[in-house]
Chains A and B, each alone.
Chain A
């Protein structure tokens, strides 16, 4: 992995997003290298989630470039690509306001993540062809393995809506991991969690990076979590990027402190 360490995975240049007359993101640059955990922080309404939506194809940015360099793959500009194509290219996300499939089982939720990595057609499914059976077997096994990883294997057959809040967040992570991403984007994974759950999440994120060999970009308000696990931090305010650096640099950055002064700093 060593030579890979500094290879760039995601490169965002001058990303800008307007809603009507409102500029939600104003030429933001961001890079993510292999194996990194990068945090994107900033006060509420700074444009962090919009940034995610632009990068993952939910919105088409007004200007700027989003470039990806998948390890061992072809570099591409992905602006305006459909979200499902971007996911297929290797970027997966979770949502700030949990978006599971409530009337499907926990296992099925994760299996959906495998959708873009499998190819069973309608005809295959009707005839239960060899490919359908084999892919189903693999999908179930891999999904189950991911559930074990996030500690939800025991609830595999329950409906997703019946899970506790923290468990739903972990299920979202498992579902995103099922798409085999090289970059995982987590939108406030610790929101609504108690300190105990947060510290478990802390471990989980670090473990995922190590075991799945991927990079992680996360939006988070919980500063303790951010400072603990991030290699680098980007700070946004009013749609602009106001600082970036290591956790230590960010802690001492005047602009950042100012930006947070009015805002309650979640400790």
Chain B
């Protein structure tokens, strides 16, 4: 047994998993409140990455580079993803709030297809290299085999983001309103919470997290394309389901488990079937334990 190899895979899995976790949070928060699989969430992530790519691309071609550019690109990406997430909810989901359950889901699929093709047409369907913005930290040299500088940035940023999210949900006004709405939307409305605003805020927060994930992953893999949102979206959704959809810590746990499972599968079995492991895990969890690892089984009200 090659423990070094295993450890290498584990580190890779955790890095990958923390990205999944960031995207999964968006799914889980939206699902928790309006019971909708926001199918277009992966597209919001992709748009975040693409906007960052455009900013970073223009900047690097004008001669700037380094972490500052990455930061600036990330800020613009976050603003744009948030704006897209907000608009998406207003157009594609809000008019369907009281429609039969499948309607918003079909609308979400339509929105996802639309956004993907919109970026493809406005930009390009090809893969483009993402500028290298994370410098090689010298102190990382000894453990570079396990964790690159970009990986380190990912781990730090995701940890900080999740901490911030926890504070937001636990202690702020909007966070409390979100929790109340998640428990009982009708009741929350009755006690004077502006539910529409809470839902918008949820989409915005989810989109911000997705944008951060998009920028991080693009700067790590070093390439970008309009179709990256689709697969990342499904995997993040898998992570959300794995942890128990609607459950915020569950999404993080699910992301990590999925990331590790995928890397181990790819490392020990076959990298060509990497995506199959994720999907198979999704199918298995839904069949065996649809409430997820941390979720509680909910009895449907009759």
Asked whether the complex places CB atoms of A and B closer than 8 A, the reply is yes
Interface residues of A (CB under 8 A from B): 19-20, 49, 53, 58-59, 95
Contact A19 B302, beta carbon cutoff 8 Å = no
Contact B302 A20, beta carbon cutoff 8 Å = no
How far, in whole Å, are A176 and B128 apart by their CA atoms in the complex?
Answer: 62
Interface residues of B (CB under 8 A from A): 296, 299, 302
Contact A53 B302, beta carbon cutoff 8 Å = yes
Q: List 7 A-B contacts (CB under 8 A).
A: A19-B299, A20-B296, A49-B302, A53-B302, A58-B302, A59-B299, A95-B302
Q: Which chain A residues lie closer than 8 Å to B296 at the CB level?
A: 20
How far, in whole Å, are A167 and B299 apart by their CA atoms in the complex?
Answer: 30
How far, in whole Å, are A53 and B301 apart by their CA atoms in the complex?
Answer: 10
How far, in whole Å, are A95 and B302 apart by their CA atoms in the complex?
Answer: 8
Q: Which chain B residues lie closer than 8 Å to A53 at the CB level?
A: 302
Secondary structure of the B side of the interface?
A: loop
From residue B140, how far is it (CB to closest CB) to chain A in Å?
47
From residue B50, how far is it (CB to closest CB) to chain A in Å?
41
How far, in whole Å, are A58 and B296 apart by their CA atoms in the complex?
Answer: 19
Q: Which chain B residues lie closer than 8 Å to A19 at the CB level?
A: 299
Looking across the interface, which residue of chain B has its beta carbon closest to that of A17? B299
How far, in whole Å, are A58 and B299 apart by their CA atoms in the complex?
Answer: 10
Secondary structure of the A side of the interface?
A: loop
How far, in whole Å, are A217 and B149 apart by their CA atoms in the complex?
Answer: 70
Q: Which chain B residues lie closer than 8 Å to A95 at the CB level?
A: 302
Looking across the interface, which residue of chain B has its beta carbon closest to that of A52? B302
From residue B214, how far is it (CB to closest CB) to chain A in Å?
38
Q: Which chain A residues lie closer than 8 Å to B302 at the CB level?
A: 49, 53, 58, 95
How far, in whole Å, are A23 and B156 apart by their CA atoms in the complex?
Answer: 45
From residue A53, how far is it (CB to closest CB) to chain B in Å?
5
How far, in whole Å, are A28 and B296 apart by their CA atoms in the complex?
Answer: 27
Q: Which chain B residues lie closer than 8 Å to A59 at the CB level?
A: 299
Looking across the interface, which residue of chain B has its beta carbon closest to that of A187? B302
From residue A18, how far is it (CB to closest CB) to chain B in Å?
11
Q: Which chain B residues lie closer than 8 Å to A49 at the CB level?
A: 302
From residue B177, how far is it (CB to closest CB) to chain A in Å?
25
From residue A68, how far is it (CB to closest CB) to chain B in Å?
20
Q: Which chain A residues lie closer than 8 Å to B299 at the CB level?
A: 19, 59
How far, in whole Å, are A37 and B71 apart by their CA atoms in the complex?
Answer: 73
How far, in whole Å, are A232 and B155 apart by their CA atoms in the complex?
Answer: 68
Looking across the interface, which residue of chain B has its beta carbon closest to that of A103? B100
How far, in whole Å, are A204 and B302 apart by their CA atoms in the complex?
Answer: 25
From residue A189, how far is it (CB to closest CB) to chain B in Å?
16
From residue A91, how far is it (CB to closest CB) to chain B in Å?
15
From residue B184, how far is it (CB to closest CB) to chain A in Å?
15
Q: Which chain B residues lie closer than 8 Å to A58 at the CB level?
A: 302
From residue B270, how far is it (CB to closest CB) to chain A in Å?
40
Looking across the interface, which residue of chain A has its beta carbon closest to that of B300? A58
How far, in whole Å, are A20 and B299 apart by their CA atoms in the complex?
Answer: 10
How far, in whole Å, are A59 and B298 apart by their CA atoms in the complex?
Answer: 12
From residue B297, how far is it (CB to closest CB) to chain A in Å?
9
From residue A94, how far is it (CB to closest CB) to chain B in Å?
12
How far, in whole Å, are A59 and B299 apart by their CA atoms in the complex?
Answer: 8
Looking across the interface, which residue of chain B has its beta carbon closest to that of A93? B302
How far, in whole Å, are A137 and B48 apart by their CA atoms in the complex?
Answer: 60
How far, in whole Å, are A20 and B297 apart by their CA atoms in the complex?
Answer: 9
Looking across the interface, which residue of chain B has its beta carbon closest to that of A24? B299
